[in-house]
Amino acid sequence: MNKGLPKWADIVLIPLLSLTLAFLVSGLVVMFIGKDPIEAVKVMVSGALGKFGIGYTLYYTTNFIFTGLAVAIAFHARMFNIGGEGQAGIGGVGVAVVLLAVDWPHWTVAIVAASIGAMVFGAAWAAIPAYLQAKRGSHIVITTIMFNWIGSALIVYLLVGPLQAPGMVPETLGFSAGSSIPTLNDIFPAFDKHAPANISLFLALFAAFGVWVLIWKTRLGYEIRAFGHSEKAAIYAGIKPVKIIMVAMLVSGALAGMMAVNTVQGEAERLILDTVQGAGFVGIAVALMGRSHPVGVVLAAFLFGILYQGGGELSFAMGIPREMIVVIQALVIMFVGSLENMVRIPVERLFVRFRKGAA
Partner 1 sequence: MTVKTQTQGQSETAAPVAPAIQLIGVSKSFGPVQANKDIDMTVAKGAIHGIVGENGAGKSTLMSILYGFYKADAGEIKIDGVTTEITDSHAAIAAGIGMVHQHFMLVEPFTVLENVIMGAEDGPLLRPSLNKARKVLLELASEYELDVDPDAIVGDLSVGFQQRVEILKALYREADILILDEPTGVLTPSEADHLFRILENLKSQGKTIVLITHKLREIMAVTDTVSVMRRGEMTATVKTSETSASKLADLMVGRHVLLEVDKSDAEPGETLLEVKNLCVTDFQGVKKLKDVSLQLKAGEILGVAGVAGNGQSDLLNILGGIEAADSGEVIMKGESIDLTTKASAAMRRERGIGHVPEDRHARGLVMPFQTWENAVFGYHNNPEFSKKFGLADQKAMMADTKRKIEKYDIRPTNPHLLASNYSGGNQQKIVIAREIENNPDVLLVGQPTRGVDIGAIEFIHKQIVALRDEGKAVLLVSVELEEILALSDRIIVMFDGVIQGERMPKETNEQELGMLMAGIDPEAST
Q: Does position 218 bind partner 1 by CB under 8 A? A: yes
Give me the least distance between CB of 219 and partner 1, in Å please. 5
Nearer CB in complex with partner 1: 35/344: 344
Complete DSSP assignment for 194-217:
T---BTHHHHHHHHHHHHHHHHHH
Cβ partners under 8 Å of residue 210, min gap 6: none
Question: Residue 177 burial (CB < 10 Å; 0-12/13-18/19+)?
Answer: exposed
- Interacting stretch for partner 1, rule CB under 8 A, among 29-37, 86-94, 199-207, 213-221? 213-221
Q: Which of 53, 113, 207, 223 touches partner 1 by CB under 8 A? A: 223
Give me the least distance between CB of 299 and partner 1, in Å please. 23
Residue 80: what residue type? F
Q: Does position 217 bind partner 1 by CB under 8 A? A: yes
Q: Does position 168 bind partner 1 by CB under 8 A? A: no
Here's the x/- map for partner 1, 232-251, by CB under 8 A: it reads as xxxxxxxxx-----------
CA distance 89 to 276: 6
Residue 327: what residue type? V
Here's the x/- map for partner 1, 300-339, by CB under 8 A: it reads as ----------------------------------------
CA distance 336 to 15: 6
- Interacting stretch for partner 1, rule CB under 8 A, among 9-17, 126-134, 231-239, 333-341? 231-239
Residue 308: what residue type? Y
Nearer CB in complex with partner 1: 279/288: 288
H helical segments located in 132-192 = 140-160, 184-187
φ, ψ dihedrals at 191, nearest 5°: -75, 150
DSSP 163: T
- Interacting stretch for partner 1, rule CB under 8 A, among 79-87, 261-269, 302-310, 348-356? 348-356
Give me the least distance between CB of 109 and partner 1, in Å please. 25
Nearer CB in complex with partner 1: 35/293: 293
Contact between 65 and 297 (Cβ < 8 Å): yes
| Local structure of 248: helix, strand or coil | helix
> Which residues sit at the interface with partner 1, rule CB under 8 A?
1, 3-4, 213, 217-220, 222-223, 225-226, 229-230, 232-240, 352, 355-356, 359
